[in-house]
Amino acid sequence: MTVARRIGLLLSVVLLGAPTVPLRAQVNAASGAPPNIVLILTDDVGYGDIGSYGSRDIRTPNIDRLARGGVRLTDFYASPQCTPTRAALISGRYQQRVSLERALGSAGAWLSTGLPANGSTLPRLLKNAGYTTGLVGKWHLGYLPEYSPNTHGFDYFYGFLAGYIDFYTHTRGGDGLPDLYENGVAVSDSGYMTDLITSRAVRFIEKNAAQPFFLEVAYNAAHWPFQRPGHPTRAANNSRFQGPDDSLPATRADYIAMLEHADGGVGTIMATLKQRGLDKNTLVIFTNDNGGEWLSNNAPLFHRKDTLWEGGIRVPAIFWWPSVLPAGRTANTPGITMDLTATVLTAARTLVPANFEGRDLVPMLAGRMSAATLAERPLFWRIDTRDRQQRAVRRGRWKLLVDGDDQLLFDLPRDIGERHDVAASHPAVVRELQALLTAWEADVDAEATRTGRK
């Protein structure tokens, strides 16, 4: 490929993937006050495990109430694992730029890795804009103090640093050490982790009800270990990976109980907002960090977490903001994690840095902007592990999945389950998407190398 051709491809990525004009804060709320913002993430939950997304065996009335009162996205994307999604959310940029493409482990060299605090991350920008910022629950972006939530701009942090912990003893997988902190100080609290997260979220809202706040509620439900509420298991090292071949196999019933309990926590948080008179001018976003695990139901999508098939990256996403967004609307415009970053900053009337890669979704969600403006931008993914090497790009209706040496093309609106590879009948589309994917990889890898992260 010639230098001129590569530059042209890189420019096409920039022009298609970035806003055409600078994103500026918008006065959206009917009152003059900036909105409170609550971002709720669940963990490893399947696309088809939420009632408003088609679940038949799991009851999620509180999450479904958000969907009835707000806008539900059908084509929203995360990354295939939790650390990459959280890195994209906090940084506002593709996680490949900081070489956080895999879930951080909790032993060995992983303990010295994390997301650099560069002064321009989501919580820092909100804090600079006068917001009180809080995170309760899962962090999974680094263990050292320089990678901590507080260093990134969270005024308050209560939760754990690893990817998963025992829901009762709060010890982490890998080395089995205690992993529960409040603002950098180790704490020892009793209780089921989902309940501790909910209670601290409520406490944060009540304490900061008089001023604008941003609160990220990062539940670890329904990530393994699959420990249902009220039934602590007695096995050694409960904070371990649990697969279908585990010596103590979990069940779908365990998973259901965990997710339904987290939905109850969502209801408690929403009730607190209403009791404090904050519900009319609070933007609430509900989503999940990646596709579901082996006990999850990702239907009608194919495959699951750790892959770039739709079941690994497409997740539920609901936006609820009564003073701004219509109720009961469904939108099928593709969105991605960095859009949450841009949406939150814009809702908070904060300038979005020019190098951020997401778009404010509120104009589209509110019906003030044509969905076509967002639909044709390319979205990219990559996973490169010992067991799996995949790359993918979606633009409009088309998704190219490069699985090893195979190039698979899917027409997603017609084939949501990715059962019919149409690469042979659309070779020009394959070439076009492959060129965009190649240019994107060169761009993100060059930045990671330039900054010493690769």
Catalytic residues: 82, 140
Contact (CB, 8 A) for 6 and 435: no
Please give the C-alpha separations between residue 424 and each of 74, 337, 406, 417, in angstroms, as whole numbers.
Answer: 28, 31, 12, 18
Which amino acid belongs to residue 252? R
CB 179 within 8 A of CB 196: no
Rounded CA-CA distance 107/337 in Å is 27
Per the CB < 8 A criterion, the answer to whether 184 and 192 are in contact is no
DSSP 3-state of 131: coil
DSSP H stretches of helix in 18-138: 61-69, 82-91, 122-128
Q: Is the distance from CB of 97 to CB of 448 less than 8 angstroms?
A: yes
Q: Which helix (H) or strand (E) holds 450?
A: helix 427-450
Buried b (16+ CB within 10 A) or exposed e, 304-335: bbbbbbbbbbbbbbbbbbbebbeeeeebebbb
Q: Residue 156: what are its φ and ψ, rounded to 5°?
A: -135, 135
| 133 phi, psi to nearest 5 deg | -115, 140
Task: Return the closest-CA partner of residue 335 out of 70, 86, 53, 74.
Answer: 74
Q: Where are the alpha helices (DSSP H) in 276-361?
A: 310-313, 337-347
| Cβ count within 10 A of residue 228 | 21
DSSP three-state, residue 379: strand
Write the DSSP symbol of residue 34: P
* Strand duo 156-160 + 132-138: pairing: parallel
Distance (Å, rounded) from C-alpha 391 to C-alpha 238?
34
For residue 271, count other CB atoms closer than 10 A to its CB. Answer: 13
- Output the six-digit token pair for 318: 């609901």
Residue 378: which of 290, 438, 452 has the closest Cα?
438
CA angle 398, 400, 401 (to 5 degrees): 140
181 - beta bridge partners? Answer: 159, 186
* Six-digit token string for 364: 């589209």
Helix (H, G, I), strand (E, B) or coil at 98: helix
